[in-house]
């Protein structure tokens, strides 16, 4: 698709430039027109029309591609809903039938996998709404969201002890996007705390803070953490794009983001809400 698009734009550009040069030669040397203002008007009209056609040639295929991709995403989202609901319903029924410990553990694993699949479903739904410019902000209690995320993250990181100290704080914001931000910050805290099993999460004075007791960072590293693809430890799994996404989200939603860190002491991330 894109090879054909580049070729079409190049050919159209080549033809229009050639016509422009040819018209210029024809007006000056064949017709011998000396009216500069008339020539300028003709050339401006020619340039504007060329720009319109080139932009249409370039944008229309991309719009069609984006529309098809969005349609596919919506259809996929719709199709995912049924198997997720089916798995949940049947595991609940089986949970009542199977009483032995071995079967219960198997059902727990299926439930955990289904919850993770539900998370991916929610994320896809969130991204579709973002692309559609739908309103994704809502009024919610941040302390309840923290409890929900910790409940989910505790299954992902069963070895981590989450110390939670939260108070009720109602905010009007992008709930799903903030969930991803919290998950990302906690994930980094766990990843960079190989010798610690404690994550502190606190809400006070309209500020959410997440603190780990891992390897920490020096001042030079703190200046680079928002750079895309930057990783302070190249041996860690991941792509180094998490904190740059966190920063973009906070900037877009007017959340003051700050980091406090010391090498071998840990890192504290603060999100201050209006």
Contacts of 173 (CB under 8 A, 6+ apart): 137, 138, 140, 253, 255, 273
Is residue 15 over pLDDT 90? no
- pLDDT of 266: 93
114 vs 169: which has the higher pLDDT:
169
Query: For 20-72, what is each residue's pLDDT tens digit?
Result: 777 777 766 767 766 666 667 777 777 777 777 777 777 777 777 777 777 77
Query: For 83-127, what is each residue's pLDDT tens digit?
Result: 877 887 888 788 778 778 888 888 888 888 888 888 777 777 777
- With left for phi above 0 and alpha for psi between -120 and 50, is residue 216 left, alpha or beta? left
- Could you tell me the CA-to-CA distances from 150 to 79, 163, 185, 212, 249 in Å, in that order? 29, 10, 12, 14, 20
Contact assessment for residue 269 and residue 209, using Cβ atoms and an 8 Å cutoff: yes
- pLDDT of 238: 43
- pLDDT of 263: 92
Query: For 174-223, what is each residue's pLDDT tens digit?
Result: 998 899 899 989 988 998 898 899 999 999 989 999 999 999 988 888 88
Contacts of 158 (CB under 8 A, 6+ apart): none
Q: How confident is the model at residue 228 (pLDDT cuts 50, 70, 90)?
A: low
* CA separation for the pair 145, 33 (Å, rounded): 74
Contacts of 148 (CB under 8 A, 6+ apart): 179
* CA separation for the pair 236, 255 (Å, rounded): 28
């Amino acid at each position: 698709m894109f090879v054909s698009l580049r070729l079409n734009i190049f050919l159209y550009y080549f033809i229009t430039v050639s016509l422009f040069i040819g018209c210029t030669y024809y007006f000056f040397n064949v017709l011998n027109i000396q009216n500069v203002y008339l020539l300028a008007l003709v050339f401006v009209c020619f340039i504007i029309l060329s720009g319109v056609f080139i932009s249409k040639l370039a944008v229309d295929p991309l719009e069609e591609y984006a529309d098809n991709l969005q349609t596919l995403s919506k259809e996929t989202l719709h199709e995912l809903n049924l198997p997720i609901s089916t798995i949940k319903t049947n595991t609940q029924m089986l949970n009542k039938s199977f009483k032995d410990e071995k079967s219960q553990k198997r059902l727990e694993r299926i439930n955990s996998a289904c919850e993770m699949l539900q998370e991916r479903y929610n994320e896809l739904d969130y991204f579709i709404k973002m692309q559609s410019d739908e309103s994704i902000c809502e009024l919610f209690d941040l302390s309840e969201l923290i409890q929900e995320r910790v409940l989910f993250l505790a299954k992902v990181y069963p070895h981590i002890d989450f110390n939670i100290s939260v108070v009720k704080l109602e905010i009007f914001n992008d709930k799903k996007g903030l969930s991803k931000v919290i998950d990302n910050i906690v994930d980094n805290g766990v990843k960079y705390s190989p010798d610690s099993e404690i994550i502190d999460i606190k809400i006070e004075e309209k500020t959410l803070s997440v603190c780990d007791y891992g390897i920490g960072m020096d001042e030079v590293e703190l200046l680079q953490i928002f750079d895309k693809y930057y990783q302070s430890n190249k041996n860690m799994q991941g792509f180094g794009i998490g904190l740059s996404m966190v920063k973009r989200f906070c900037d877009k939603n007017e959340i003051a983001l700050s980091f406090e860190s010391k090498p071998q002491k840990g890192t504290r991330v603060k999100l201050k809400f209006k």
